[in-house]
Amino acid sequence: GLEGGEEPEEEERTGEPPAAAGESPQGRLKDETCPAWRHKKKHLFVLSNAGKPIFSRYGDENSLAGFMAILQAMISFVQDSGDTLHSVRAGKYLVVFLVRGPLYLVAAAATGEPVAVLAQQLHVFYQQLIAILTNAVERAFLKSPKFDMRQLLGGTAPVLQALIKSFTWNPALLLGAIPPLPLPPSARKAAFAALQAVHVPHLQFAILLSGSQVVAVLSPRNAPMHHQDLLLVSNFVQSSESFRLSESFSPVCLPQYNPAAFLYTYITYVAGGVCLLLLSSNPQSFHELADARVAIETNLKKQSVINAITRMNADPLLQLNKIPA
């Protein structure tokens, strides 16, 4: 069972020597029988309605199959009685359940967070899964209850782990807020103008980010970007170091915009931590978007937007006397 140690959540101490060369730290947290695993203050699990393990924040999913089967049995027992299992208390741990079609999401936390907060975190985590796979994954489970979803999630562990960590420091995810980068109005207006100046067929959204903060977002008039979609795509980009190395073209689903389809996202860093994302419905639009990037980057530098962002990042504290009247 879970024991709930008192160590800090982000840099949790196990009281064990460092992992040997070639041994993953997760190897020491293989399953629920490991003391270090039981002392973690916050767990998150995803499993199928057949009890098949899909994801665990800590440990090895295969080794946790028995533990997840117990979670599945708890949910199914309550469902069979015509009710829904929302939460249970297990010692220091509050265990919260969320059912989304064939997927069961479970949070077990000894952090003092209430049911509503943990349930919202599970909902956001589910949305990140849909952003990676679209809701076609639900149809796959309908065709085969034993479908192994993990094979489709290969390589996305950093995205999912980063999202869980962000629950401790990024209130925007739970408040439904967009974290803007404070900028002079003239700089932000110039950023919007640079995005609006390009005309690419099938371009749906254009986003300019500085780290996890938003500089500008360009959306269709009849379909403004939902704040949750913006936060999920930002987490997807910010948690993948490979995007910083070169321009990339990756399918991303925006669950609030259309959970059944991908948008094809051109991702590039135009300067330092300033990231440009161009989302198109055309999977063959890479070269057109790359050309648009050149024009946008030229205008951003010409209008000193990059300089304004750099200055703000160098002096990030927002003071009342710096707020434009």
Q: 161 versus 170: which is more confidently predicted?
A: 161
User: What is the reported pLDDT for 19?
Assistant: 41
Give per-residue pLDDT as tens, 199-244: 999 999 999 999 999 999 999 989 999 999 999 999 999 998 889 9
In a domain, 16, yes or no: no
Reported as type and span, the H/E element at residue 101 is: none
User: What is the reported pLDDT for 257?
Assistant: 96
In a domain, 2, yes or no: no
**Has residue 158 got a pLDDT over 80?**
yes
Q: Is residue 1 very low, low, confident or very high in pLDDT (cuts 50, 70, 90)?
A: low
Percent residues over pLDDT 90 in the chain: 70
Parent domain of 208 = 185-322
First to last CA, the chain: 56
In a domain, 240, yes or no: yes
For the chain, strand residue ranges (E) read: 42-48, 53-56, 87-90, 93-100, 103-109, 203-210, 213-218, 248-252, 263-271, 274-280
In a domain, 144, yes or no: yes
Chain mean position to CA 246: 21
Name the domain boundary from 136, 169, 202.
Answer: 169
Same domain for 153 and 207?
Answer: no
Name the domain boundary from 138, 169, 200.
Answer: 169
Q: Could you give the number of structural domains in the chain?
A: 2
Same domain for 140 and 216?
Answer: no
In a domain, 246, yes or no: yes
Beta bridge partners of 100: 103
